[in-house]
Structure 1
Amino acid sequence: MAFKVVVSDSKTGKSYQFETESTALIGKKIGDEISGSVVELEGYKLKITGGSDKCGFAMRHDIHGAMKMRVLLKSGPGYNVKEKGLRRRKSLRGNTISKDITLINTKVVEYGSAPLGGEPESIE
């Protein structure tokens, strides 16, 4: 199972996508810090901020576990409110990474020595 890991750099405002076959991510939760070596970023520390499963259902930090649930929402990740006071039942994933998760969103907490985007290409 391959994970797509999106790494957001808050200094530059850019994000970078990596693929990994590592099983070290299974069991981690939203808010956990992981080593950047999982996606070949030596010296970096990454914080998990969210993700989605193979069907596109978003992960939510306040649903515990790895299962998919139908929850009643009034705001937050997975639901945009159209009118004040409107609530809706939506299917969402829990906050734990399992084999069904395909996309993991992270942000950089500690920077390593190498640049995040690799070597800049020279324009000739």
Structure 2
Amino acid sequence: MKLNVSFPATGAQKTFEVMDDHKLRHFYDKRMGAEITADHLGDEWKGYVFKIAGGNDKQGFPMKQGVLTNTRVRLLLKKGHSCYRPRRTGERKRKSVRGCIVDQNLSALALIVVKKGEKDIPGLTDTTVPRRLGPKRASNIRKLYNLTKEDDVRQFVVKRPLPEKDGKKARTKAPKIQRLITPVVLQRKRHRLAIKKRRVESRKEAEAEYMKILHLRRRQERIRRRSRLSSMRDSRSSVGEERDKEKEKAAAKAAKKVAKKEAKKEVKKVTEAAKKADAKAKTKAEPKKAEKKAETGKKTAGDKKEKKV
């Protein structure tokens, strides 16, 4: 099994191949993230403490933290999961990964030196690998050199020498410092704040104008509603007056009809009374006429008799 050992203090890494299973047995059944002493690997490793960072099995499948098994499993992985890099947005894929428990089927085991021992390991702890790139952010540069806000960060940038060309001077390349506060940055900030203030003021003015228009419209609506109600009241009152007039006219017509009927009745009564009086007078005059006729008849008969004699 290969042991890929890294020493963060110097930035160095080195691979050691261990064929003896007795030396490797100490790593078996340990999980990723566990810290182990390295005394069993030999006297040169005495006092060293390793932390298991990961590993690969003989077919190249990586170990995954959190999978509590020493065999291979197939997991549905997505963006953010270890052992998988999505090629498309939102893509998920079922991948074969090995559990986080170490066993004899691994071909490589990644270890980190947490604590240095008594002796130096050649090629690992005795050599320092210089960093190719320095810090790029202004706050990180200040932290590295323990600078204050008044110090100029641009003088402390880690520059990288470029390879020399024929007949030309040696050149260096420096990274662009991010989050560096300059007068232009402050001017942009002031400009943004001024734009924000103007936007707030314009919004307030527009809101005030809108409220004015809204109050005016509400007032107009109120006046319109009042005028409509008053016109409706007037129309109702006029309709009521017309109805009252019509009722009065109808009542007058009805009174006239009643008066006519009563007058006709009175006329009938008067005529009937007159007829009755005439009838009574006739009935009284008829016997007198009969007596007169009888007397006249007697006279005519006596006269006739006298003529005959």
Structure 1 distance, partners of 2:105, 2:39, is: 22
SS of structure 1 residue aligned to 2:108? strand
Match in the other structure for 1:82: 87
Question: Structure 2-normalised TM-score?
Answer: 0.36
Given the alignment, which residue of 104, 113, 118 partners 1:108? 113
Q: What letter matches 1:70 in structure 2?
A: R
Native 8 Å contact 1:60 1:93 kept in 2: yes
Q: Which is worse superposed, 27-36 or 70-79? A: 70-79
Structure number with greater Rg is 2
Q: Deviations along 1:15-55, whole A, 9 cap, x unmatched?
A: 11112222111111101111122433111100001001000
Structure 1 distance, partners of 2:58, 2:83, is: 15
Structure 2 distance, partners of 1:106, 1:90, is: 24
Native 8 Å contact 1:19 1:39 kept in 2: no
Task: Give unmatched runs, 5+ long, in structure 1.
Answer: none
* Deviation of the 1:113 alpha carbon: 2.3
Given the alignment, which residue of 15, 29, 32 partners 2:31? 29
* Deviation of the 1:116 alpha carbon: 2.9
Structure 1 distance, partners of 2:91, 2:10, is: 36
- The answer to whether structure 1 residue 8 and structure 2 residue 6 are counterparts is yes
SS of structure 2 residue aligned to 1:24? helix
Higher relative contact order (CA 8 A, sep 6+): 1
Q: What letter matches 1:28 in structure 2?
A: K
SS of structure 1 residue aligned to 2:39? helix
* Deviation of the 1:73 alpha carbon: 0.7
Output aligned runs, 1:59-78, within 5 Å: 59-74=63-78, 75-78=80-83
Q: Which has the higher helix share?
A: 2
Residue 101 and residue 86 in structure 1: after superposition, are their counterparts in 2 closer, same or farther (change >3 A)?
same
Structure 1 distance, partners of 2:6, 2:41, is: 13
Match in the other structure for 2:53: 49
Q: Which has the higher strand share?
A: 1
* Deviation of the 1:84 alpha carbon: 2.7
Native 8 Å contact 1:42 1:112 kept in 2: yes
Structure 1 distance, partners of 2:14, 2:41, is: 11
Task: Give unmatched runs, 5+ long, in structure 2.
Answer: 127-309
- Aligned-pair identity in percent equals 32
Aligned residue-pair number: 119
Structure 1 distance, partners of 2:16, 2:40, is: 10
Q: What is the CA RMSD across the aligned residues, in angstroms?
A: 1.9
Native 8 Å contact 1:46 1:108 kept in 2: yes
Q: Deviations along 1:38-91, whole A, 9 cap, x unmatched?
A: 433111100001001000000001111101001011133311122332111100
Structure 2 distance, partners of 1:117, 1:80, is: 36
Following superposition, which runs of at least 4 residues in structure 1 exceed 4 angstroms of deviation?
A: none
Match in the other structure for 1:19: 17
